[in-house]
Amino acid sequence: MGNQKQGSKQSIPSVCAICRFPGTGGIMKKRKTILALCLLCATSLAATAYVKASWEGWDTEKQDDAWTVLDLTEWTEFASLGTIPSVITTYSATASVNTAVRDYEAQIKAEFKSYSQDYSGYTELLLAICYLRTQGSGNDIFAITDLPKYEGKSDLTAEESIAAACRLLVACVRESEEVNPYKLDAKLQAVIIAWYSNDPSVIGFFTDQKYTAGEYETYMEREGITLDYKNILQSINAIYSCKEVNMTGSSGYSGSVAAGIAGTIDSGTRLSWLFPGGTPKSPTEVQAYLTTITVPIQTKTGKTTMSLRVHKQLANEIQSIFEELLTVQGFYVNPGDTFGYNWRPMASGTGKLSHHSYGCVIDLNANANPPSYWNSKPDPKSPYYNNPQVVAIFKAHGFYWGGDWSPSFYDPMHFTYTNH
């Protein structure tokens, strides 16, 4: 791909949309392996749990290659079972743009899909660029005519601007190998700067996925182009959100994420990760993001279960937390004092909306772990006390503990994914 230049919508090697490796080769060593993996991927999306597969004739190297291509985890567990799980890693991205820009989404996506290779994965990135250029106002919605080295009509329509913007982005992508539109890494950032420079060859000045700023700036100075690329990248980063999730289930991505993923999300972007389209403004809006889970608990009378209403993307995380709580000796859960989703203002009386309203908070054994504003203290000798082992389990899954807050305002019942 590195030697391909911009031109008409030419034919290029196909790519498996699920496995994400070139149909003409890729990292697999034998065509049989490629075909088998494609079939397994296609089958796995329709499976409810795992797709049975025989490893007969597969040496260790080929098995490891299979798992590398599928980006799967827990190899030792599934290798012993002789199964391929119906879980694959997938990516998504969202641009925080206004309605005027979002109105062009369908047109941009259709233009990208008209190429011999589907580039529609770059739609959100191009929406972000459009927002930063003109916010969708006027005819030339990408301000293509203002780009360096532009040669063409001076009065582009919105449709012509979209077509030109897509052509330029495709040309830039083709200059760089294995660019992922859902990872705002150095490769994708190089593509963005090349787009703004109206010069795909600019990507050649970015080596080893790190900016060689001196070479780039020297080139741009020689070409007479002034471009504040650091500010451009900072602006893109502010409105272009990427995330990686595990997709599973018979009907495709359901919103649930495998346990262990949520804790890796940067603390400053967690609300936007939970609600990429913006936080819900009413109990009705939030329902689409919620699910009811049944978790195991240990009570004074024995093991039982209880239901919790939580955010879909935290469901598996919270399920694992309660399963691990069963291992804490002498610790009980009171189902009547344990809560998840509840659309309400903060109990502290500030009038602000509690993040219980977003399904990302668990209050555990409330009466035995009262907040400071109740004018009472938890009893460390109580079997319902949220002891250090309990706290450690929640923290290992990415949750914050209200008991770490200031002495004047602490809330030891409160385990929050957003630290709110």
Distance CA 130, CA 299 (A): 56
The answer to whether residues 142 and 152 touch, using CB atoms and an 8 Å cutoff, is no
Question: What average pLDDT score do residues 288-314 get?
Answer: 90
Phi, psi of 307 (to 5 degrees): -100, 145
387 pLDDT band (50/70/90 cuts)?
A: very high
Distance CA 201, CA 22 (A): 23
93 pLDDT band (50/70/90 cuts)?
A: confident
Alpha helices in 93-185 (DSSP H): 99-102, 105-113, 123-133, 158-175
Q: Around Cβ 79, how many Cβ atoms within 10 Å?
A: 14
Distance CA 282, CA 335 (A): 26
Mean pLDDT of the chain: 75
Distance CA 404, CA 10 (A): 59
The answer to whether residues 155 and 96 touch, using CB atoms and an 8 Å cutoff, is no
The two three-digit tokens of residue 195, written as one number: 């787009």
The two three-digit tokens of residue 165, written as one number: 């913007």
Is the pLDDT reported for residue 389 higher than 80? yes
Long-range contacts of 20-26, Cβ-Cβ distance < 8 Å, separation of 24 or more: 20/69, 21/69, 26/69
Q: Determine the pLDDT at residue 365.
A: 94
Range from 1-5, 242-246, 309-313 that averages highest in pLDDT: 309-313
Is the pLDDT reported for residue 38 higher than 80? no
Q: Determine the pLDDT at residue 57.
A: 54
Distance CA 337, CA 322 (A): 15
Collect all residues with Cβ–Cβ distance below 8 Å to 109 and sequence separation of at least 6.
Answer: 120, 123
Ordered structural domains, the chain, with CATH: 92-241 (1.10.530), 283-416 (3.30.1380)
Is the pLDDT reported for residue 395 higher than 50? yes
pLDDT tens profile 190-217:
899 889 988 888 887 776 556 666 777 7
pLDDT tens profile 330-373:
999 999 899 999 888 876 666 678 899 999 999 999 999 998 87
Of 224, 243, 127, nearest to 180 (Cα)? 243
The answer to whether residues 184 and 191 touch, using CB atoms and an 8 Å cutoff, is no
pLDDT tens profile 263-298:
888 888 889 889 888 899 888 888 888 888 889 999
Distance CA 254, CA 50 (A): 17
